[in-house]
Amino acid sequence: MNVVATVVADLITESAELDTVVADMGDDRWQMPTPSPGWTIAHQIAHLHWADLKSIDAIERPNEFSSWIDSIPSHPGAVPAVVDDGAQTLATTSPAALLAAWRDTRAHLAAALSTTDPAGKIPWLGPPMTAASMASARIMETWAHGQDIVDALHITRPATDRLRHVAHIGVRARRFAFIVNGRDPASLAPVFVELDAPDGSWTWGDPDAPERVTGPALDFCLLATQRRHRDDLALTAVGPGADAWLDIAQAFAGPPGQGRPRIHTRT
Protein backbone atom coordinates (compact mmCIF):
# COMPACT_ATOMS: atom_id res chain seq x y z
CA MET A 1 0.00 0.00 0.00
CA ASN A 2 1.45 3.41 -0.98
CA VAL A 3 1.66 6.37 1.38
CA VAL A 4 -1.50 8.10 0.14
CA ALA A 5 -3.51 4.88 0.35
CA THR A 6 -2.29 4.29 3.90
CA VAL A 7 -3.20 7.78 5.09
CA VAL A 8 -6.57 7.71 3.32
CA ALA A 9 -7.33 4.37 4.99
CA ASP A 10 -6.61 5.99 8.36
CA LEU A 11 -8.89 8.91 7.45
CA ILE A 12 -11.69 6.51 6.56
CA THR A 13 -11.28 4.70 9.86
CA GLU A 14 -11.10 7.89 11.93
CA SER A 15 -14.27 9.20 10.30
CA ALA A 16 -16.09 5.90 10.71
CA GLU A 17 -15.30 5.75 14.41
CA LEU A 18 -16.68 9.25 14.93
CA ASP A 19 -19.72 8.24 12.88
CA THR A 20 -20.49 5.49 15.40
CA VAL A 21 -20.57 8.11 18.18
CA VAL A 22 -23.25 10.25 16.53
CA ALA A 23 -25.13 7.76 14.35
CA ASP A 24 -27.75 6.69 16.89
CA MET A 25 -28.18 9.97 18.75
CA GLY A 26 -31.62 11.50 19.06
CA ASP A 27 -32.16 14.86 17.37
CA ASP A 28 -32.03 16.65 20.72
CA ARG A 29 -28.47 15.48 21.33
CA TRP A 30 -27.30 17.02 18.06
CA GLN A 31 -28.15 20.38 19.66
CA MET A 32 -25.99 19.80 22.73
CA PRO A 33 -23.32 22.47 23.25
CA THR A 34 -19.70 21.41 22.87
CA PRO A 35 -16.59 22.98 24.45
CA SER A 36 -16.19 25.14 21.35
CA PRO A 37 -18.15 28.32 22.22
CA GLY A 38 -21.36 28.60 20.24
CA TRP A 39 -20.95 25.24 18.53
CA THR A 40 -23.29 22.30 19.03
CA ILE A 41 -22.59 18.73 18.01
CA ALA A 42 -24.41 19.55 14.77
CA HIS A 43 -21.94 22.40 14.16
CA GLN A 44 -18.99 20.05 14.63
CA ILE A 45 -20.25 17.54 12.04
CA ALA A 46 -21.34 20.38 9.76
CA HIS A 47 -17.82 21.81 9.89
CA LEU A 48 -16.28 18.46 8.92
CA HIS A 49 -18.78 18.12 6.10
CA TRP A 50 -18.07 21.67 4.87
CA ALA A 51 -14.29 21.15 4.97
CA ASP A 52 -14.63 17.88 3.06
CA LEU A 53 -16.71 19.67 0.42
CA LYS A 54 -14.06 22.36 0.06
CA SER A 55 -11.33 19.71 -0.12
CA ILE A 56 -13.16 18.04 -3.01
CA ASP A 57 -13.42 21.41 -4.76
CA ALA A 58 -9.68 21.97 -4.30
CA ILE A 59 -8.88 18.58 -5.85
CA GLU A 60 -11.42 18.47 -8.67
CA ARG A 61 -11.89 22.17 -9.45
CA PRO A 62 -8.59 23.80 -8.42
CA ASN A 63 -9.01 26.93 -10.54
CA GLU A 64 -12.47 27.64 -9.16
CA PHE A 65 -11.24 26.90 -5.65
CA SER A 66 -8.30 29.29 -6.07
CA SER A 67 -10.67 31.99 -7.30
CA TRP A 68 -12.82 31.45 -4.23
CA ILE A 69 -9.73 31.80 -2.03
CA ASP A 70 -8.83 35.04 -3.80
CA SER A 71 -12.32 36.41 -3.06
CA ILE A 72 -11.80 36.11 0.71
CA PRO A 73 -10.67 39.41 2.31
CA SER A 74 -7.05 39.44 3.44
CA HIS A 75 -7.56 40.52 7.07
CA PRO A 76 -6.65 37.88 9.72
CA GLY A 77 -10.20 37.09 10.82
CA ALA A 78 -11.64 36.60 7.35
CA VAL A 79 -10.84 32.91 6.85
CA PRO A 80 -12.08 31.83 10.31
CA ALA A 81 -15.28 33.77 9.65
CA VAL A 82 -15.80 31.96 6.34
CA VAL A 83 -15.19 28.60 8.02
CA ASP A 84 -17.61 29.43 10.83
CA ASP A 85 -20.26 30.60 8.38
CA GLY A 86 -19.99 27.30 6.54
CA ALA A 87 -20.60 25.35 9.74
CA GLN A 88 -23.45 27.65 10.80
CA THR A 89 -25.25 27.22 7.49
CA LEU A 90 -24.93 23.44 7.26
CA ALA A 91 -25.77 22.93 10.95
CA THR A 92 -29.35 23.99 10.20
CA THR A 93 -29.81 20.79 8.19
CA SER A 94 -31.76 18.03 9.92
CA PRO A 95 -29.48 15.59 11.77
CA ALA A 96 -30.39 12.67 9.49
CA ALA A 97 -29.73 14.68 6.34
CA LEU A 98 -26.50 16.15 7.71
CA LEU A 99 -25.17 12.73 8.69
CA ALA A 100 -26.06 11.27 5.29
CA ALA A 101 -24.42 14.19 3.50
CA TRP A 102 -21.24 13.91 5.58
CA ARG A 103 -21.04 10.19 4.83
CA ASP A 104 -21.39 10.80 1.08
CA THR A 105 -18.92 13.66 1.04
CA ARG A 106 -16.19 11.94 3.03
CA ALA A 107 -16.47 8.86 0.78
CA HIS A 108 -16.17 11.14 -2.26
CA LEU A 109 -13.13 12.84 -0.74
CA ALA A 110 -11.42 9.54 0.05
CA ALA A 111 -11.87 8.43 -3.55
CA ALA A 112 -10.63 11.77 -4.89
CA LEU A 113 -7.53 11.72 -2.71
CA SER A 114 -6.79 8.14 -3.73
CA THR A 115 -6.69 9.04 -7.42
CA THR A 116 -4.77 12.32 -7.07
CA ASP A 117 -1.17 12.52 -8.28
CA PRO A 118 0.83 11.86 -5.09
CA ALA A 119 3.47 14.38 -6.13
CA GLY A 120 1.02 17.10 -7.12
CA LYS A 121 0.01 20.03 -4.94
CA ILE A 122 -3.58 20.79 -3.98
CA PRO A 123 -4.51 24.44 -3.29
CA TRP A 124 -5.84 25.16 0.18
CA LEU A 125 -6.64 27.92 2.67
CA GLY A 126 -3.03 27.68 3.81
CA PRO A 127 -0.04 26.49 1.76
CA PRO A 128 -0.78 23.97 -1.05
CA MET A 129 -0.63 20.34 0.07
CA THR A 130 0.03 16.91 -1.37
CA ALA A 131 -2.76 14.34 -1.24
CA ALA A 132 -1.09 12.61 1.72
CA SER A 133 -0.77 15.90 3.59
CA MET A 134 -4.40 16.79 2.93
CA ALA A 135 -5.54 13.38 4.16
CA SER A 136 -3.43 13.82 7.30
CA ALA A 137 -4.92 17.27 7.86
CA ARG A 138 -8.43 15.83 7.52
CA ILE A 139 -7.54 13.18 10.11
CA MET A 140 -6.35 15.91 12.47
CA GLU A 141 -9.55 17.91 12.00
CA THR A 142 -11.79 14.86 12.33
CA TRP A 143 -10.06 13.77 15.51
CA ALA A 144 -10.04 17.28 17.04
CA HIS A 145 -13.69 18.04 16.32
CA GLY A 146 -14.53 14.51 17.36
CA GLN A 147 -12.88 15.32 20.69
CA ASP A 148 -15.28 18.22 21.14
CA ILE A 149 -18.16 15.85 20.50
CA VAL A 150 -17.04 13.13 22.91
CA ASP A 151 -16.31 15.78 25.54
CA ALA A 152 -19.87 17.07 25.18
CA LEU A 153 -21.19 13.52 25.56
CA HIS A 154 -18.78 12.71 28.43
CA ILE A 155 -17.30 9.81 26.48
CA THR A 156 -13.71 8.66 26.81
CA ARG A 157 -12.14 7.24 23.69
CA PRO A 158 -8.82 5.39 23.58
CA ALA A 159 -5.70 6.70 21.88
CA THR A 160 -4.91 5.04 18.55
CA ASP A 161 -1.86 4.95 16.31
CA ARG A 162 -3.71 7.37 13.99
CA LEU A 163 -2.70 10.08 16.44
CA ARG A 164 0.71 10.02 14.79
CA HIS A 165 -0.76 12.13 11.98
CA VAL A 166 -1.99 14.72 14.48
CA ALA A 167 1.28 14.76 16.39
CA HIS A 168 3.32 15.06 13.20
CA ILE A 169 1.37 18.13 12.10
CA GLY A 170 1.76 19.62 15.57
CA VAL A 171 5.53 19.15 15.53
CA ARG A 172 5.93 20.52 12.00
CA ALA A 173 3.83 23.57 12.91
CA ARG A 174 6.18 24.66 15.70
CA ARG A 175 7.64 27.65 13.81
CA PHE A 176 4.19 28.58 12.55
CA ALA A 177 2.86 28.68 16.12
CA PHE A 178 5.49 31.23 17.07
CA ILE A 179 4.89 33.33 13.95
CA VAL A 180 1.10 33.60 14.38
CA ASN A 181 1.63 34.54 18.02
CA GLY A 182 3.91 37.39 17.00
CA ARG A 183 7.11 35.76 18.20
CA ASP A 184 10.31 35.46 16.18
CA PRO A 185 11.18 31.77 15.63
CA ALA A 186 14.61 32.56 14.15
CA SER A 187 16.48 32.02 17.41
CA LEU A 188 14.69 28.81 18.41
CA ALA A 189 17.04 26.00 19.38
CA PRO A 190 16.47 22.55 17.83
CA VAL A 191 14.04 20.44 19.83
CA PHE A 192 13.72 16.68 20.18
CA VAL A 193 10.19 15.36 20.65
CA GLU A 194 9.58 11.91 22.11
CA LEU A 195 6.02 10.76 22.72
CA ASP A 196 4.70 7.64 24.38
CA ALA A 197 2.32 6.17 21.82
CA PRO A 198 -0.11 3.25 21.62
CA ASP A 199 2.32 1.32 19.43
CA GLY A 200 5.59 2.34 21.10
CA SER A 201 7.55 5.59 20.99
CA TRP A 202 7.32 8.33 18.36
CA THR A 203 10.21 10.72 17.88
CA TRP A 204 11.03 13.82 15.86
CA GLY A 205 14.36 15.62 15.68
CA ASP A 206 17.85 14.86 16.91
CA PRO A 207 18.06 13.03 20.26
CA ASP A 208 21.08 15.22 21.05
CA ALA A 209 19.14 18.46 20.50
CA PRO A 210 19.54 20.98 23.33
CA GLU A 211 15.80 21.11 24.03
CA ARG A 212 13.11 18.45 24.24
CA VAL A 213 9.44 17.71 24.78
CA THR A 214 8.30 14.39 26.20
CA GLY A 215 5.05 12.84 27.37
CA PRO A 216 2.02 10.90 26.16
CA ALA A 217 1.16 11.22 22.47
CA LEU A 218 -2.50 11.72 23.38
CA ASP A 219 -1.63 14.65 25.61
CA PHE A 220 0.51 16.26 22.91
CA CYS A 221 -2.30 15.92 20.39
CA LEU A 222 -4.81 17.41 22.83
CA LEU A 223 -2.42 20.32 23.34
CA ALA A 224 -1.59 20.88 19.66
CA THR A 225 -5.28 20.92 18.70
CA GLN A 226 -5.97 23.12 21.75
CA ARG A 227 -8.51 20.71 23.20
CA ARG A 228 -6.86 20.79 26.65
CA HIS A 229 -4.90 23.38 28.61
CA ARG A 230 -1.23 22.64 29.09
CA ASP A 231 -1.61 22.50 32.87
CA ASP A 232 -3.97 19.54 32.56
CA LEU A 233 -1.54 17.42 30.55
CA ALA A 234 1.49 15.30 31.43
CA LEU A 235 3.93 16.94 29.03
CA THR A 236 7.45 17.95 30.00
CA ALA A 237 9.52 20.64 28.30
CA VAL A 238 13.27 21.07 28.70
CA GLY A 239 14.65 24.40 27.46
CA PRO A 240 13.12 27.86 27.12
CA GLY A 241 12.04 27.43 23.50
CA ALA A 242 10.37 24.09 24.18
CA ASP A 243 8.66 25.52 27.24
CA ALA A 244 7.38 28.55 25.32
CA TRP A 245 6.17 26.29 22.51
CA LEU A 246 3.91 24.27 24.78
CA ASP A 247 2.11 27.47 25.75
CA ILE A 248 1.20 28.32 22.14
CA ALA A 249 1.31 25.04 20.18
CA GLN A 250 -1.30 24.64 17.47
CA ALA A 251 -1.66 22.09 14.68
CA PHE A 252 -4.23 24.07 12.73
CA ALA A 253 -3.85 26.93 10.26
CA GLY A 254 -5.05 30.45 10.91
CA PRO A 255 -4.72 32.85 13.82
CA PRO A 256 -4.04 31.66 17.38
CA GLY A 257 -6.91 29.72 18.88
CA GLN A 258 -8.50 30.52 22.23
CA GLY A 259 -7.63 27.09 23.60
CA ARG A 260 -9.40 25.65 26.61
CA PRO A 261 -9.46 26.93 30.19
CA ARG A 262 -7.35 25.03 32.67
CA ILE A 263 -8.98 22.58 35.01
CA HIS A 264 -6.01 22.33 37.36
CA THR A 265 -3.87 25.14 38.66
CA ARG A 266 -0.21 25.31 37.75
CA THR A 267 2.07 25.01 40.79
pLDDT given for residue 14 in this prediction: 98
CATH superfamily of domain region 3-153: dinb family like domain (1.20.120.450)
pLDDT given for residue 4 in this prediction: 96
Phi, psi of 115 (to 5 degrees): -105, 10
CA angle 187, 130, 86 (to 5 degrees): 90
pLDDT given for residue 1 in this prediction: 62
pLDDT given for residue 261 in this prediction: 87
Torsion from C-alpha of 229, 234, 239, 241, nearest 10 degrees: -30
- C-beta of residue 134 within 8 angstroms of C-beta of residue 124: yes
Radius of gyration of the CA atoms of the chain, in A: 18
- pLDDT, one tens digit per residue, over 43-78 is 999 999 999 999 999 999 999 999 999 999 988 788
pLDDT at 255 over 90: no
CATH number for the domain formed by residue range(s) 163-248? 3.30.1050.10
Q: For the residues 196-217, what does the mean pLDDT come to?
A: 97
- pLDDT, one tens digit per residue, over 215-247 is 999 999 999 999 999 999 999 999 999 999 999
- pLDDT, one tens digit per residue, over 96-153 is 999 999 999 999 999 999 999 999 999 998 889 999 999 999 999 999 999 999 999 9
Q: Enumerate the β-bridge partners of residue 187.
A: none
Question: Binning pLDDT at 50, 70 and 90, where does residue 253 land?
Answer: confident
pLDDT given for residue 259 in this prediction: 83
pLDDT given for residue 106 in this prediction: 98
Q: How far apart are CA 23 and CA 73, in angstroms?
A: 37
The dihedral of CA 45, 161, 253, 132: what is its sign?
Answer: negative
pLDDT at 267 over 50: no
Domain ranges of the chain: 3-153, 163-248
| Total residues found in the chain within this entry | 267
- C-beta of residue 223 within 8 angstroms of C-beta of residue 230: yes
Q: How far apart are CA 19 and CA 23, in angstroms?
A: 6
